[in-house]
Amino acid sequence: MRLFLIIILTAATFLSCNKFLDVKPKGKLIPTKISEFDRLLDNTDIVEFPFLNNNRGSILGYLTDNLTLSEGIGKIAYKANNSPNIDNYYAYTFREPYRNPNSPDWLWERGTYRAMKYFNNVIDGVSGLRTESNAEEADAVLAQAYVNRAWAYFHTSMVYGPVYKPNGNNGTKTIPYLTSGDVSAPIPDLSTQEQVFANVSAELHRALPAIPAVTNYPSRPNKATALTMLAYFHLFTQRYDSVVYYANLAWTAATAQGVDKVLYNYNELSYADPDNVLISAIKSPDSRIHLPNSREILFFRSPDNTAGRINVSYPSDEFIALFDQDKDLRFKYFLLPAPGYKTTYNGTVYDDGIKLQYYRGATAVGNPKFQMTAGFTYPELLLMRAEGYARTGMLPEAMDDLNLLRRYRFVTGTPDLTMPASRDEVIRLVLEERRRELPLGHLKRYLDLKRLCTEAGKPWSKTKITHQLGTETFEANIDGPAFVLPIVNAILLLNPHWGIPPDTRPF
């Protein structure tokens, strides 16, 4: 699989030097040209670990209503066996702190701020080289770095900060919006959520005039990515007219050559080995459904491929109930019955029996069955437009978008959904389709729960999450500290000017 073509030699070395542009050591690559800075945007550090731990799973899914743990998985596989990912168990049971506050934070260090060194160095370096004669080349590279930076900081602020309140007080300080590539420069104070949102909006709008319509791989943002990110941004600000505006621009441009260029018709898929569906690859007409450059992936960031299968977690009953098991082909390919967790511990047998498990990201001949992304897909883009339409009263348009996607997902001949009696029912249908379409774990459902909890009383909104483990029940408010990851002590101790005391809670 040709995931990335560019290998940046000694990147960690030159990016850790205070004045790495002053000297060009023999045999080492130091960017001095725009094209050399451009190559930094292909580094694998940018895409491999956003909001993933060192085992490539994500704690965030375990806070949501998409995942469940059996008693055996929770108490034995995680707790009794002292799993390296015991934070998943603590998150599921809302036992704080979820992670050891004295251990490194992969989501922060490997996910956001390791990638940020590339974006900031590209922006600083290219800005310094930009002239009137190379402005077009320079601005195209800068635009991609701005969108990358905006995507990363927006999500990081939402993970390490509270629920964003449209038209409310968003003055909580969350993360440092670091924009300098100079490692000797002082670390800035934490930005408030309002400041992060303002910066993200400014960077996306700064990028729009120059960002390329086409880039060489979905790891790099193109114009449709920037427009989609603006639509996504405004789902949180609840400016739904802007959601429609940007999503429509992106979808219209993306489908200029036909919808089949950006959607797979699941009726055209098949198992490579129908006698062994658990381990079989999925065959698609273009043979790329398992790759990061599949036709449906608009912006690639590595997903959590582990959530929902044996020894880790299962899809929740509520999630499974969203699917039409006879007609929705996502159920056929994603949710497969397989032997669940089984062990004997201190004389007690834990046997989950046959369980429906989430095989969308399962490895088949070295690749996921379906390549997912923590970034954006074209189906998600279409559903953003549908949600914007529904929330602005354009109900026929919303249902058209919803039924369009369903024709690519349901058994051929399945009737379209008819117009519901109310706008709330249309919104509910769109959001349920969104939940079916997006990955089970990782960021997507976690952030949807946080943005939708502000609409208390609506059929799609929850204010708290309840988890079951054997006979025990655990609850937490979405708009509360249980849905905010704290900054770990090592980072706090290096930045006393933030005014946050170290976390002394026992782990």
- Contact between residue 76 and residue 104 where contact means Cβ atoms under 8 Å apart: no
Residue environment code for 440-467, b if the CB has 16+ CB neighbours within 10 A, otherwise e: bbbbbbbbbbbbbbbeeeeebebeebeb
Q: What is the mean pLDDT of the chain?
A: 93
Question: In terms of DSSP H, where are the helices of 133-174?
Answer: 135-159
For the stretch 236-280, pLDDT in tens is 999 999 999 999 999 999 999 999 999 999 999 999 999 999 999
> CA 487, 492, 498, 504: dihedral to nearest 10 degrees?
80
What are the boundaries of each domain within the chain?
Answer: 34-266+375-492
Please tell me the class of the 34-266+375-492 domain: mainly alpha
3-state secondary structure of 303: coil
Residue whose structure tokens are 């408010």? 477
pLDDT, mean of each 10-residue run, the chain (507 residues): 31 32 41 96 96 95 98 98 97 97 96 97 97 98 98 98 97 97 92 98 98 97 98 98 98 97 98 96 97 98 96 97 98 98 97 98 93 98 99 98 98 98 98 98 98 97 98 98 98 96 94
What local confidence, expressed as pLDDT, does residue 29 receive? 55
For the stretch 178-234, pLDDT in tens is 999 998 899 999 999 999 999 999 999 999 999 999 999 999 999 999 999 999 999
What local confidence, expressed as pLDDT, does residue 24 receive? 36
Helix (H) or strand (E) holding 68, with range, is strand 67-68
What local confidence, expressed as pLDDT, does residue 25 receive? 34
Q: Which of 377, 439, 411, 100 is nearest to 247 (CA)?
A: 377
Q: Which two tokens stand for residue 337?
A: 């019955």
How far is 162 from 450, CA to CA, in rounded Å?
A: 8
What local confidence, expressed as pLDDT, does residue 30 receive? 76
Q: Which two tokens stand for residue 11?
A: 């990147």
The radius of gyration of the chain from alpha carbons, rounded to an integer in Å, stands at: 23
Give me the phi and psi of 23, to 5 degrees please.
Answer: -130, 140
